[in-house]
């Protein structure tokens, strides 16, 4: 039986209750870096002990880089980072941020189990790329605590964030999440619910389209990206963006969008599927559309 009372409105002090991050992959580690870099404690949960073992080094590396670039405060202490495989260890969290694999069934299970242990009124945030927040909220004990927050990669370098208000999201939950994001130096832009929200409803289709151009031999990856950078002023081309996201995650996100819209523009193209089957996920494995010196 839970002994919890309603979570307090104030944000945690550096030595206080932690913010929980579920999933120690590309995004979970990046979000933990952002939060600890602002002096707040994090408890990081994953089912994969290897991922958890690598997380402290990856967070330390991210902190160093972000501070060198002036993207995180250089003064003051970092928040503590605790790692665990047990969802029970997040029961004291003031906010929970879910960043596990973009598989709807996996997220549903994680959301159901974590919402059993946290205090009523604790915002339960999903970093999903495209699953509607109200669909995820159906797995939560208290759907009104569910909010979407779509951090970009890497979260400590990109200051704007799409925040998603589901039809059942409580005003208090939304307010507490935007207060945390403001505390983290971010510009929260609140949007409505739906598959892919704003960014991925548009972006994922164009990543798929760019990959299909390479597949069909219209242009090679370098040329596609050079055109977007040189002609449209994008800082990164779509295929380098796909490599940064992770091609495995791009395929999962496209499937989420296709299953919920029936729009064939989201059907992952053959070249993307081949690269994922070959284990070429992009930056995180050292090869995707482009080759990378070091595995991130």
Ligand X SMILES: NC(=O)c1ccc[n+]([C@@H]2O[C@H](COP(=O)([O-])OP(=O)(O)OC[C@H]3O[C@@H](n4cnc5c(N)ncnc54)[C@H](O)[C@@H]3O)[C@@H](O)[C@H]2O)c1
Q: Pick out residues in 63-102 that bind ligand X (CB under 6 A).
A: 99-102
Query: Is 246 near ligand X (CB under 6 A)?
Result: yes
Contact 276, 101 (CB under 8 A): no
Q: Pick out residues in 150-169 that bind ligand X (CB under 6 A).
A: 150-151, 153
Active site residue 150: yes
> Could you tell me the maximum CA-CA distance found in the chain, to the nearest angstrom?
62
Q: Of the listed pieces 23-31, 64-72, 214-222, 271-279, which binds ligand X according to CB under 6 A?
A: 23-31
Query: Is 28 near ligand X (CB under 6 A)?
Result: yes
CA dihedral 33, 131, 136, 170 (to 10 degrees): 80
Among 42, 43, 46, 95, binds ligand X (CB under 6 A): 46
Output the six-digit token pair for 191.
Answer: 């949007």
Rounded-to-integer distance, Cα 253 and Cα 115, Å: 24
Query: Is 59 near ligand X (CB under 6 A)?
Result: no
Least CB distance from residue 233 to ligand X, whole Å? 21
Query: Is 268 near ligand X (CB under 6 A)?
Result: no
Q: How far is CA 157 from CA 1, 144, 163, in A?
A: 41, 30, 17
Query: Is 51 near ligand X (CB under 6 A)?
Result: yes
Beta strand extents in 151-291 (DSSP E only): 160-164, 187-191
Q: Of the listed pieces 122-130, 190-198, 202-210, 287-295, which binds ligand X according to CB under 6 A?
A: 122-130
Q: Of the listed pieces 18-26, 211-219, 227-235, 270-278, which binds ligand X according to CB under 6 A?
A: 18-26
Rounded-to-integer distance, Cα 285 and Cα 292, Å: 8
Q: Would you say 237 or 246 has its CB closer to ligand X? A: 246
Among 41, 253, 282, 283, binds ligand X (CB under 6 A): 253
Rounded-to-integer distance, Cα 65 and Cα 48, Å: 25
Rounded-to-integer distance, Cα 245 and Cα 248, Å: 9
Output the six-digit token pair for 7.
Answer: 């979570």
Q: Of the listed pieces 44-52, 58-66, 136-144, 231-239, which binds ligand X according to CB under 6 A?
A: 44-52
Q: Would you say 39 or 44 has its CB closer to ligand X? A: 44
221-230, long-range: CB < 8 A, 24+ apart: 221/289, 221/290, 222/290
Count CB-CB contacts under 10 A for residue 2. Answer: 10
> Could you say which of 4, 38, 150, 234 is catalytic?
150
Among 17, 26, 139, 285, binds ligand X (CB under 6 A): 26
Query: Is 36 near ligand X (CB under 6 A)?
Result: no
Among 106, 172, 215, 261, binds ligand X (CB under 6 A): 106
Cβ neighbours of residue 1 under 8 Å, at least 6 residues apart? Answer: none
Query: Is 188 near ligand X (CB under 6 A)?
Result: no
Question: Under the rule (CB under 6 A), what is the footprint of ligand X?
Answer: 22-28, 45-48, 51, 99-102, 106, 110, 127-129, 150-151, 153, 245-246, 249, 253
**Which residues are annotated as catalytic?**
150
């Amino acid at each position: 039986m839970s002994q919890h009372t309603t979570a307090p409105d104030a944000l945690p002090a550096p030595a206080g209750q932690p913010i929980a991050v579920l999933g120690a992959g590309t995004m979970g580690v990046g979000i933990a870096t952002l939060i600890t870099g602002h002096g707040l404690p994090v408890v990081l949960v994953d089912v994969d002990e290897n991922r958890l073992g690598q997380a402290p080094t990856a967070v330390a590396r991210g902190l160093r880089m972000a501070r060198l670039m002036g993207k995180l405060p250089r003064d003051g202490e970092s928040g503590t980072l605790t790692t665990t495989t047990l969802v029970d260890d997040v029961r004291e969290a003031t906010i929970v941020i879910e960043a596990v694999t973009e598989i709807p069934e996996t997220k549903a299970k994680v959301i159901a189990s974590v919402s059993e242990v946290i205090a009523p009124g604790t915002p339960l945030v999903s970093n999903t790329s495209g699953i509607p927040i109200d669909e995820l909220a159906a797995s939560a004990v208290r759907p009104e605590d569910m909010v979407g927050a779509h951090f970009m990669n890497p979260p400590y370098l990109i200051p704007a964030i799409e925040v998603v208000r589901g039809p059942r999201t409580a005003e208090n939950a939304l307010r507490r999440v935007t207060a945390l994001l403001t505390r983290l130096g971010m510009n929260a832009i609140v949007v409505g619910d739906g598959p892919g929200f704003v960014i991925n409803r548009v972006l994922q289709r164009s990543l798929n389209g760019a990959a299909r151009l390479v597949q069909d031999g219209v242009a090679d990856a370098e040329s596609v990206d050079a055109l977007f950078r040189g002609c449209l002023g994008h800082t990164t081309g779509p295929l380098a963006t796909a490599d940064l996201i992770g091609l495995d995650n791009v395929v999962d996100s496209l499937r989420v969008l296709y299953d919920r819209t029936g729009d064939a523009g989201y059907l992952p193209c053959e070249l993307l599927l081949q690269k994922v089957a070959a284990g070429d996920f992009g930056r995180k494995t050292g090869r995707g559309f482009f080759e990378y010196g070091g595995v991130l």
